[in-house]
Structure 1
Amino acid sequence: MEILKERILQDGKCFEGGILKVDSFINHQMDPMLMYQIAEEFVTRFKNENINKIVTIEASGIAPAILVGYAMQLPVVFVKKKQPKTMENMLTTTVHSFTKDRDYTVCISNNFLTSDDRVLFIDDFLANGNAAMGMIDLINQAGATLSGMGFIIEKAFQEGGKILRDKDIHVESLAIIEDLSNCEIKIR
């Protein structure tokens, strides 16, 4: 994904504490042409997995997940950060946000995540792996099968990728950031 790497270097902004902002093209204002190319790349990388559902956590993962679902002709479900009063058969877990430095109780209805599902999880970032671990918990609670996890950007200097790969999870990251020291973006 050379085009993604170029955009990160051109439009990404680095902040103290290992924060990379890509809000001008991925998670606030979106470049739909780039997002579709990202989806096509995920489809290619996961084409040999037996997947019947795409899942993400709101909010930044929704756009890429919908495009992956569209390209794969599969339903997309997003885990919610606020528990609606009307949700039936709720499964919950706690996820810590690295960027916002707070915990969220997230939920999904077991009506939309079941033991028949073979899940591809899509998200914008992989840092410490907190959202991914929360998703694994929800998948396990539902008795579903995790077929793979796709991330637009992975921060290799944080532990999330190692944790997931050590669990033998099929992880695909389209751009891997080696380092953000001195607010200089170094991509693998």
Structure 2
Amino acid sequence: MELLKQRIRQDGTVKGTDVLKVDSFLNHQMDVALFEEIGKEFQRRFAGCGVNKILTIEASGIGIACVAAQSFRCPVVFAKKSQSKNIAGEVYTTKVESFTHGKVYDVIVSKKFLGPEDRVLIIDDFLANGAALEGLMDIVHQAGATLVGAGIVIEKAFQPGGDRIRARGVRVESLARIKSMSEENGVEFAED
């Protein structure tokens, strides 16, 4: 998605060789007009797949998933990283290691919102090592739902997550795939 790549080049900041800060438009301050184009692109790529639920994980994926859900005309379910008093009843649970925060979370989704009748598209902002995506895939599996695929805004293609998940037969559509990045040279995109 060329619009997204331009925005990454213009406003993204590389820290070291593995951190890309896109907080001015993607995951702190959110450019809703850009999100709308991202949502339309995911809808184009997954058209005809019968998506009736979008699943994401808190927090950065929620805004993107909500705007994308408007194109799919379906609800969003987000996995919470901690149990709270307002989630009553039975839950699906899995463990997810966060690359960003360097810790393991128990991730939960209420069984009321995901079941065998659902055709689920997972949406997230980043794919690097794949832990969050694998955790969400586990929740879809526990629910007996059908995983349609995963829509990823930015994939760090130089890290193993995307290749490992694709090798499991999961359709992963990434809007911007980064081949390499450094503070000196910026971002180099992989060919689509």
TM-score, normalization by structure 1: 0.97
RMSD, matched Cα: 1.1
Give identity over the alignment, percent.
Answer: 51
Partner amino acid, structure 1, of 2:127: L
Name the residue aligned to 2:145.
144
Name the residue aligned to 1:12.
12
Name the residue aligned to 1:61.
61
Q: In structure 2, how many angstroms separate the alpha carbons of the residues matched to 1:89 and 1:135?
A: 17
Partner amino acid, structure 2, of 1:128: N
- The 3 A distance-change label for structure 1 pair 182 and 28 is closer
State whether residues 35 and 68 of structure 2, in contact with CA within 8 Å, keep that contact through their aligned partners in structure 1.
no
Q: How many pairs are equivalent?
A: 188
Name the residue aligned to 2:48.
48
Where does structure 1 lack aligned partners over 5 or more consecutive residues? none
Determine helix, strand or coil for the equivalent of 2:112.
Answer: coil
1:31 aligns with 2:31: yes
- Equivalent residues in 2 for 1:107-186 (5 A)? 107-183=108-184, 184-186=186-188
Shift of the alpha carbon at 1:182? 4.6
Name the residue aligned to 2:85.
85
The Cα offsets for residues 50-105 of structure 1, whole Å up to 9 and x where unpaired, read as 21111100111001111111111101110111111332211111101111111111
State whether residues 49 and 148 of structure 1, in contact with CA within 8 Å, keep that contact through their aligned partners in structure 2.
no
Where does structure 2 lack aligned partners over 5 or more consecutive residues? none
Give the 4+ runs in structure 1 shifted more than 6 A.
Answer: none
Q: In structure 1, how many angstroms separate the alpha carbons of the residues matched to 2:183 and 2:16?
A: 8
State whether residues 120 and 147 of structure 2, in contact with CA within 8 Å, keep that contact through their aligned partners in structure 1.
yes
Shift of the alpha carbon at 1:17? 4.6
